[in-house]
Amino acid sequence: MIEYDELYKIVQGKLSAKRFNHTLNVINRAVEYARVYGVDEDEVKLCALGHDIAKELRDIENKKYNDILDDIEKVNGNLIHAKIGAIMCKQYGFNDDMINAIKYHTTGRENMSILEKIIYLADATEEGRRVGSTYVEVVKKDINKGMLEILSWTIKKLLDENKVIHIDTIKCYNYYILNREN
Ligand code: DGI
Ligand code: FE
Ligand code: FE
């Protein structure tokens, strides 16, 4: 697996200062959650560092990956980067759980691992996220409640903006509705 410092330089080289700063904020938030939930901090840090690696690829580079994208992903700039980022991180030696954390960090999915949830939630609740960051304490108290709150907020926003909703986003939301304890 790639060393943290090596990936740091690669990611820094691919992202604008603003997006890289977001990535650093996600690392900090993800480490906070990893400590609460007893998850391997080294894996969490690498995933957080790599999660948006493909966010600013040029269209021509994205085209190379057209075959692996579904119809919704092909037309939605926000969704493409997670799938392509997962492929790139596989090349850096990420294990399957880490690759899935990158792959599903935008939509979520049913039955996520604890690492997948931490990356999804750290991304949504880093300190630069005006609304998202208000959910930090909820996440630390009950990670599944945190997932439901963030998904519900995201889907409402997508509806308000008449955006396409990916099936994984819906499945993820339904999963937490059907499995909630109260
Ligand atoms: O890459 P980031 O901006 O850091 O964060 P992200 O990967 O979570 O992507 C953020 C955007 O993706 C956010 O504005 C919500 C949007 N998103 C999440 N699920 C869906 C979605 N957009 C569409 N169109 N459909 C979805 O199902
Ligand atoms: Fe992202
Ligand atoms: Fe992000």
The pLDDT assigned to 59 comes to 82
pLDDT, one tens digit per residue, over 143-165 is 999 999 999 999 999 999 999 99
The pLDDT assigned to 36 comes to 98
User: Atom 9 in ligand 1: which residue has the minimum CA distance?
Assistant: 106
Specify whether the backbone of 38 is left (phi greater than 0), alpha (psi in -120 to 50) or beta. Answer: left
What does the pLDDT average to over 106-124? 98
Position 182 pLDDT exceeds 70: no
Distance CA 136, CA 85 (A): 25
**pTM of the full predicted structure?**
0.96
What does the pLDDT average to over 94-112? 98
Dist. CA 143 → ligand 2 center (Å): 19
Contact (Cβ atoms closer than 8 angstroms) between residue 47 and residue 101: yes
The pLDDT assigned to 73 comes to 87
pLDDT, one tens digit per residue, over 34-86 is 999 999 999 999 999 999 999 999 888 878 888 888 889 888 888 999 999 99
In the structure, ligand 2 is a single-atom ion and the residues with CB under 5 Å from it are 52
Dist. CA 180 → ligand 3 center (Å): 26
The pLDDT assigned to 51 comes to 98
The pLDDT assigned to 181 comes to 76
Q: Nearest to residue 155, comparing CAs of 130, 177, 127, 122?
A: 177
